[in-house]
Amino acid sequence: MNLSGNIPSTTSKRRLIFDAHLDLSMNAIEWNRDLTRPLEEIRQREMHMSDKNDRGKGTVCLPELRKGRVGLVVATQLARYTPFGSALAGWNSPQQAWAMTQAQLIWYREMEQLGEMIQITNLEQLETHLTLWRDESISDDVKPIGYILSLEGADSLVDVSYLHRAHAYGLRALGLSHFGPGRYAPGTKNEGSITPLGFELMKEMAGLNMILDVTHLTDIGFDQALDLYEGHIWASHHNVRKIVPNQRQLNDNQIKKLIQRGAVIGGMLDCWAMDIRFIDMVSDPWQLDIKLENLVDHWDHICQISGNSEHIAIGSDLDGIFGMEQSPWDLNSIADLQKFESILDKRGYSSLDIDNIFSENWLRFLRRAWK
């Protein structure tokens, strides 16, 4: 599908990748992973651990990001509040959840101190970072990973005033909900409206020129957000409901609304979001032959609606409470995102289309949002 009309790519130079959803600090703090270390070492440390399903199967660390030229990411803070009686894991008070996000923030700051990462909060910093990563005279091995800070689920904001505290330390994007019930909005596998707190929060977000991430909202919440939010909107990690018909994915009407708002949709690599046959903690990606190319089917569908490749990108969600056991079988680490170049080329995507998906769509969005 040559959407731009250009000759398909034949270049051998690896492109820069922008991944718009990685739970790096959660893996570091709650999974106790030293993400500065080689991936095989991290896996070996977990070889005899069984407290989590993905032990020994992680796919993300900072060396692998560099290996794959994933030089820019949207990195999250994530701490859910769970009300009494909820079966979901989380914190028993908003204050505890806030404290966890602050521990996650400190981890990012420590990575900055080591020169492993650098926070991006404005357009000038973004362009400076891109210049560094495009400088071929400097080895990718020594370049810091640029990160834009996002909050996945707003539960940890004790009240709306905490948004201003978070913005001051660099928070630039925010999703109201995650899984289950939420203080600001119900999320995946729930139904219902954004809460009064959520409506208040969106007003404050717009005043701060923050990006609203619609990922994990209910269908009702999605419509409310698109109707009421005055700022910029993206869907950091979302696939297509036409292919995987569950509430977590975007239906065609939602995709059309996002396109009209100039949004970008990041394709995610969690197998249950790629193939309806996959069942968490039961299915095997290899047996079902779920591979990286499956995501291109989701991208194709969005491109057919939009008529171009300007609204699709990468929001992998790799190691978002899963590892190799729930990732495409032809992906060993996040560095394998580079395989999408040849996959997309064979599927008829042009060099311009591939540039759009790898980084340019997210960059164009930010240049518009932060100008």
3-class SS at 317?
coil
94: which DSSP letter? H
CB 65 within 8 A of CB 154: no
Q: How confident is the model at residue 9 (pLDDT cuts 50, 70, 90)?
A: very low
Q: How confident is the model at residue 88 (pLDDT cuts 50, 70, 90)?
A: confident
Instruction: Tell me which residue of 274, 265, 368 sits closest to 329, measured CA to CA.
Output: 274
Domains of the chain: 17-370 (3.20.20.140)
Q: How confident is the model at residue 290 (pLDDT cuts 50, 70, 90)?
A: very high
Q: When comparing pLDDT for 7 and 371, which is higher?
A: 371
pLDDT per position as a tens digit, 311-332: 999 999 999 999 999 999 999 9
pTM of the full structure? 0.95
Radius of gyration of the chain (CA): 19
Maximum separation of any 2 CA atoms in the chain, in Å: 58
| Predicted confidence (pLDDT) at residue 1 exceeds the cutoff of 60 | no
| Predicted confidence (pLDDT) at residue 67 exceeds the cutoff of 90 | yes
Q: Residue with structure tokens 């994530």? A: 78
| Predicted confidence (pLDDT) at residue 182 exceeds the cutoff of 50 | yes
